[in-house]
C-alpha cells in the first residue's frame, strides 16, 4: 500500500492532498506528498511517522530541515545550560566547583546569553538555511524514512566524535597563535572560570571554524560511504552540545563522565584550559593532549592539588581549602604549619 491511499493519511476526506492542504498550500503539499509516494506507511514506527509528518506539514524540505535544525540547537543548548545555572546558585554544590571561589555571577551569565542568542539569530541563520542543500549535495538523507539501524548510527556517531576531537585539537591550537588569538579566540577566553552558557561565547569566525569539525565529519563520511541520515547528525549534534556545555560547566561531579571513562576530557580538562590559557586543547578526549605533551601544566596542577588534598586530609581539614585570607579552614591550616 502506498502513502497516498493509506486511510491513516487520507483520514476519510476526499484525498490525502486535501488533508495536508489544510496546513500548507496545496501545491507544497502535493510536492511533499510525492516525496513519500513509494513509502509503505504501515511499516513505519511512531517516530518515523512523526518525522514524515513534519516534512509533510511544512511542505518544503529546505524550510522543514532549517527549522528543525535551529530548534534543536536552541532547545538543547539552553536546555542543557539550565541545570548548571541552578547548580551555580546552590552553595552545597560549591565543593564540586573546579575553581572553587569563582562562581559565575548572574551578570556574566546574562552577558553570555545575550551574545550567544545574537549569534544564533544572525550568523547561524544562513548556515542553517544552507544546511538542507548541503545535505542534498553530499547525499545525506533528510526527509527519508525509515531511519537507519541503531548499529549504523552508533558507529557513525563514534567516528564523528573521534574526527571532531582531532580537528578541534589542531584548529584550537592554531587559534592560540598570536594574530588568531588576538583577533578571534580572545573573545572565548574572556571568562577564565567558564560556565555552561559560555560554551558558544565566541567570535563568529571561531564558531564557523570550529563548527567545521562538528559538521565536516558527517559530510566527509557520507561522501565516502553514501549512507547517512540527518537524524544521525542531529543525535551527534545533541551529544556534541552536551559535551561542550558540560566541559564549560566548571564542575567536576562524582557522576561526571571522566570519573568513569578515564580518557574522556570533561570539565576537569577544559576548565584548566580556561584557567591557564594554554594546554588541554582537545574537546572530547584526552589522547591528543597526552601524546602531544600539551597537558603538562594540567597534570602538574592536578598533582599539586592531590598532594595538598592529602596533606589537608592528614591534618583532618576539609577540602577544598580556601585561600588563607578568605577562610577559617585556610587560616587553621596556616596556624598548624607554624
Ligand atoms: Zn582556547
Ligand atoms: Zn572553552
Span from the CA of 195 to the centroid of ligand 2 (angstroms): 9
Same-domain pairing of 251 and 320: no
CA of 312 to the centre of ligand 2 (A): 31
Confidence of residue 3 (pLDDT cuts 50, 70, 90): very low
Structure confidence at residue 31 as a pLDDT band (50, 70, 90): low
- Together in a domain, 179 and 227: yes
Q: How far is CA 217 from the centre of its chain?
A: 15
- CA of 176 from ligand 1 middle (Å) equals 6
Instruction: Identify whether residues 234 and 309 lie together within a single domain.
Output: no
238 and 94: one domain? yes
Cα dihedral 219/225/231/235 (nearest 10): -70
Whether 252 and 213 share a structural domain: yes
Residue 189 CA, ligand 2 centroid: distance in Å? 7
Domain end, chosen from 59, 78, 108, is at 59
Q: Are residues 46 and 109 in the same domain?
A: no
The average pLDDT across 327-334 equals: 48
Which one-letter DSSP state was computed for residue 100?
A: T
Shared-domain flag, residues 312 and 186:
no
Question: Is the predicted pLDDT of residue 32 greater than 80, yes or no?
Answer: no
Domain that holds residue 268: 64-294
The SS3 call for residue 293 is coil
Number of helical H runs and strand E runs in the chain = 16, 0
Integer-rounded Cα Rg, in Å, for the chain is 24
| Count of structural domains within the chain | 3
Q: How far apart are CA 111 and CA 115, in angstroms?
A: 6
Distance 300 CA to ligand 1 centre (A): 19
Take residue 125 and report the three cell numbers written for it.
541563520
Burial classification of residue 326, based on how many CB atoms lie within 10 Å of its CB (0-12 exposed, 13-18 middle, 19 or more buried): exposed
Q: Could you give the count of Cα atoms lying within 13 Å of 204 in the half-sphere of its Cβ?
A: 11
Q: Which residue has the higher pLDDT, 312 or 321?
A: 312
Ligand 1: distance of its center to the CA of 272 in Å?
10
Q: Comparing 13 with 40, which gets the higher pLDDT?
A: 40
Do 99 and 40 share a structural domain? no
pLDDT for residue 27: 58
113 and 182 fall within a common domain: yes
Q: What would the mean pLDDT of 292-315 be, rounded to a whole number?
A: 90
Residue 293 CA to ligand 1 centre (angstroms): 16
Q: Are residues 216 and 135 in the same domain?
A: yes
Average pLDDT over residues 13-26: 46
Query: Mean per-residue pLDDT for 245-272?
Result: 95
Tell me what pLDDT residue 256 has. 94
> Which whole number is the average pLDDT over 62-74?
92
Ligand 1 centroid – CA 66 distance (Å) = 30
* Cα(193) to centroid(ligand 2), Å: 10
Do 182 and 313 belong together in one domain? no
Q: What is the pLDDT of residue 161?
A: 98
The 10s digit of each residue's pLDDT in 281-301 is: 999 999 999 999 999 999 999
Whole-number Å distance between alpha carbons of 9 and 22: 13
Q: Which residues contact 18 (CB under 8 A, 6 or more apart)?
A: 26
Cα of 274 vs centre of ligand 1, distance in Å, is 7
- pLDDT category at 220 given cuts 50, 70, 90 is very high
* Distance, C-alpha 329 to centroid of its chain: 38
Q: How far apart are CA 323 and CA 97, in angstroms?
A: 15
Average pLDDT score over the chain: 86
**pLDDT band at residue 272 under the 50/70/90 scheme:** very high
pLDDT, position 324: 40
Q: Are residues 121 and 39 in the same domain?
A: no
What mean pLDDT is predicted for residues 104-117?
A: 89
Tens digit of pLDDT for each residue in 169-201?
999 999 999 999 999 999 999 999 999 999 999
- Report how far residue 75's alpha carbon sits from residue 68's, in angstroms, rounded to the nearest whole number: 10
* d(CA 270, ligand 2 centre) in Å: 6
Mean pLDDT value of segment 304-313: 87
Mind giving me the DSSP string for 233-260? HHHHHHHHHHHHHHHHS-B--TTSGGGT
Amino acid at each position: 500500500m502506498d502513502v497516498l491511499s493509506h486511510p491513516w493519511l487520507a483520514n476519510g476526506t476526499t484525498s490525502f492532498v486535501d488533508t495536508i492542504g489544510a496546513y500548507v498550500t496545496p501545491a507544497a503539499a502535493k510536492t511533499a506528498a510525492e516525496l513519500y509516494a513509494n513509502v509503505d506507511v504501515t511499516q513505519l514506527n511512531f517516530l518515523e511517522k512523526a518525522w514524515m509528518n513534519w516534512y509533510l506539514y511544512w511542505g518544503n524540505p529546505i524550510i522543514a530541515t532549517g527549522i528543525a535544525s535551529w530548534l534543536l540547537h536552541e532547545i538543547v543548548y539552553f536546555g542543557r545550560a539550565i541545570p548548571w545555572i541552578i547548580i551555580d546558585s546552590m552553595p552545597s554544590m560549591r565543593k564540586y566547583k573546579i575553581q572553587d571561589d569563582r562562581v559565575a555571577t548572574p551578570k556574566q551569565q546574562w552577558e553570555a546569553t545575550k551574545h550567544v542568542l545574537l549569534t544564533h539569530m544572525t550568523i547561524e541563520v544562513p548556515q542553517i538555511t544552507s544546511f538542507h542543500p548541503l545535505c542534498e549535495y553530499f547525499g545525506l538523507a533528510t526527509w527519508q524514512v525509515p531511519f537507519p539501524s541503531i548499529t549504523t548510527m552508533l558507529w557513525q556517531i563514534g567516528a564523528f566524535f573521534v574526527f571532531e576531537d582531532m580537528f578541534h585539537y589542531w584548529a584550537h591550537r592554531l587559534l592560540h597563535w598570536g594574530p588568531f588569538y588576538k583577533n578571534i579566540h580572545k573573545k572565548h577566553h574572556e571568562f577564565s572560570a567558564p560556565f555552561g552558557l559560555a560554551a558558544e561565547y565566541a567570535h563568529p569566525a571561531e564558531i564557523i571554524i570550529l563548527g567545521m569539525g562538528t559538521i565536516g565529519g558527517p559530510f566527509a563520511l557520507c561522501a565516502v560511504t553514501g549512507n547517512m541520515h540527518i537524524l544521525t547528525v542531529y543525535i551527534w549534534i545533541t551529544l556534541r552540545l552536551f559535551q561542550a556545555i558540560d566541559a564549560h560547566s566548571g564542575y567536576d561531579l562524582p557522576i561526571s563522565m571522566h570519573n568513569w571513562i578515564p580518557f574522556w576530557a570533561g570539565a576537569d580538562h577544559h576548565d584548566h584550559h580556561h584557567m591557564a590559557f594554554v594546554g588541554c586543547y582537545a574537546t572530547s578526549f584526552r589522547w591528543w593532549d597526552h601524546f602531544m605533551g600539551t597537558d603538562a601544566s594540567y597534570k602538574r596542577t592536578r598533582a599539586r592539588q592531590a598532594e595538598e588534598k592529602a596533606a589537608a586530609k592528614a591534618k583532618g581539614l576539609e577540602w577544598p581549602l580556601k585561600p588563607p585570607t578568605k577562610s577559617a579552614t585556610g587560616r587553621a591550616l596556616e596556624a598548624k604549619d607554624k
